[in-house]
Amino acid sequence: MIPVSYFFGLSIVLFVLGIIAFFIKRDLITMFMAIEVMLNAANLAFIALAKAAGSPAGQVIVFFIITVAAAEAAVGLAIILLVFRQKKSIKAEDMRLLKG
């Protein structure tokens, strides 16, 4: 029997790796992937908690997260594609229309 805390440790490591990936990468697509990594780290924590608490509720939530993530990925990628069409670039630092 593997202790639940191991899964938690892995979840935390994955989450922090996601953050680091987000800050290291410069193209929007890979940064988006980094966000997906963070989402999955959270999913892992939920599943582990469901196991620890002996309740399927955590699994149901993960099911919803995956569904919403799919929708989010579709819209997000559509936006990235649109940005690329207009700017001919997917570098994050080229997108600074909101500069004050």
Partner 1 sequence: MFWLIPLIPGASAFILAVFGKWLPKKYVSWQACLSVFASFGISLVSFFGLLKVPPGSLPVIKTLFSWIQSGSFNADLSLQLDPLSSIMTLVVTGVGFLIHVYSVGYMAHDKGYKRYFTYLNLFTFAMLILVMGANLVLMFVGWEGVGLCSYLLIGFWFEKHSAANAGKKAFIVNRIGDAAFILGIFFIFLIVGSGDFRAITGALEGGAVTQGMATLIALLLFAGATGKSAQIPLYVWLPDAMEGPTPVSALIHAATMVTAGVYMVSRMNLLFTLSGVAGQVVGIVGALTAIFAATMALTQNDIKRVLAYSTISQIGYMFIGCGVGAYAAGMFHLFTHAFFKSLLFLAAGSVMHALSGELDMRKMGGLRKYLPLTYPTFLVGAIAIAGVPFLSGFFSKDAILTHAYAQGQYFIWALGLMGAVLTAFYMFRLVFLTFFGQERLDPHAKEHLHESPRVMTVPLVVLAFFSIVAGYVGLPVVLGKKANLFSRFLDPVIHPGHEAHLNISAEWLLILISVAVALCGIYIAYVFYLKSPRTPHRIVARFPMLYKLLYNKYYVDEIYNAAIVRPLVNGSQTVYDNFDLKVIDGTIDGAAAATGFAGKVLSLFQSGLIKDYGLVLLLGVVVFLGYLLF
Partner 2 sequence: MGIFLFSLLAILCVGGVLGLILSRNQAHSALFLVLAFASLGGLFGLLDAPFIAAVQIIIYAGAIMVLFIFVIMMINLEQGIAPERKRWTLGLSAVLAVFLLIELGLAVRGTLGALGRTGGESIGDPKELGRLLFTDYLYPFEITSVLIIAALVGAIVLVKKKEKE
User: Which backbone phi and psi does 2 adopt, to 5 degrees?
Assistant: -85, 130
Give yes or no for a contact between 19 and 31, defined as CB atoms under 8 angstroms apart. Answer: no
CA distance 37 to 28: 14
Our finding on whether 29 is near partner 2 (CB under 8 A) is yes
Binding site partner of 43, from partner 2, partner 1, none, Cβ cut-off 5-8 A by kind: partner 2
Q: Provide the binding-site residues for partner 2, judged by CB under 8 A.
A: 1-2, 4-10, 12-21, 23-27, 29-30, 32-34, 36-37, 40, 43-44, 47-57, 59-60, 62-64, 66-75, 77-82, 84, 90-91
